[in-house]
Amino acid sequence: MMEAEGVVEEEGNDGLSGCGNEDTNQQPKLSLHALTGAMGQLTMQVVGMIGRRPMKVLIDSGNTHNFLSAGLAHKLGLLVEDMPIVSVRVTNREQLPCSKVIRNFTLKIQGYVFGTMCFSYH
């Protein structure tokens, strides 16, 4: 199960600026629903295509960034890069360290192609 919001990254921006370890408005936030793949009041599940593979996509308006499990990234053969550790705040107040990123992630939903960056978590 993965989560994506379909935020298109601006050209020239690596998407990591402002993702500090302090508890600021810019700290990445991940809902517990997205982390567990469960449906919730602020979530919507759709079918998207990653390459030629159909995937369930959980769109969660409670998240600030896009997230993809390390296991799914590996299965799909996506390029996962190291990055400085970013502390992601889960809605239950736990901190999830994230040190991997997929910079050129593309996802197709209902004929629309979204290019974005995803944090990869274990």
Biggest distance spanned by C-alpha atoms of the chain? 39
Q: Tokens for 102, please give them.
A: 């997929």
pLDDT (tens digit per residue) in 84-107: 999 998 878 888 899 999 999 999
pLDDT (tens digit per residue) in 19-28: 544 444 467 7
Mean pLDDT of 45-57: 91
Instruction: Please list the residues that pair with 96 across neighbouring strands.
Output: 88
Domain residue limits at 85 = 2-121
Task: Judge whether 44 and 50 are in contact, CB under 8 Å.
Answer: no
> What is the pTM (predicted TM-score) of this model?
0.68
Number of separate domains in the chain = 1
71 φ/ψ angles, rounded to the nearest 5 degrees: -65, -45
CATH number at residue 42: 2.40.70
- Exposed, middle or buried, 34 (CB in 10 Å: 0-12/13-18/19+)? buried
73 φ/ψ angles, rounded to the nearest 5 degrees: -60, -40
